[in-house]
Amino acid sequence: MPRPRRAMSEINVVPYIDVMLVLLVIFMITAPLVNPGVIELPSVGRSSQPPELPLEVVIKADASLMLRERSKTAASERAVSTAELVAALQQKQKTHPDQAVVIAADKNVRYEEVLKIMDELQKQNVRKVGLLVRPATR
């Protein structure tokens, strides 16, 4: 008596592996030949006016304030109160609305004092505010 045929329940993966290896070789050969896209960036002319040097608000260890204004030729520094600082900033903002302001605080000053000054700068609509730090030495 002949035995009945059963369906084969195994998958032969050898042809799939062969196809995958052929594709891998093709990609390995063609990848170095493909040129990456080159982007041509637009160019702009130089600005006619040099950028303004930032105003420096110095907060000393005793929480006193100094306003330092630098120019290309000289620098001036004067002690100010918070109200005088606000007045000076308002005057500078009228002539140079994009002038940056940098806060230079002593490392022993409370964080709250620095935040007060940053809050005043924000109230005066100063757009560019930074913190002045010294790079760490190794």
- Cα angle 95, 121, 133 (rounded to 5 degrees) comes to 105
Note the pLDDT of residue 25: 95
Distances (CA, A) of 45 to 9, 49, 51, 88, 94: 73, 12, 15, 33, 27
Asked if 54 and 69 count as a contact pair (C-beta separation under 8 A), the reply is no
Q: Which tens digits make up the pLDDT trace of 21-37?
A: 999 999 999 888 877 77
> Any idea where the domains of the chain sit in the sequence?
55-131
Considering the chain, what is the average pLDDT of its residues? 82
Q: Which tens digits make up the pLDDT trace of 89-134?
A: 888 888 887 788 888 888 888 888 889 888 888 888 888 888 887 7
> What class does CATH assign to 55-131?
alpha beta
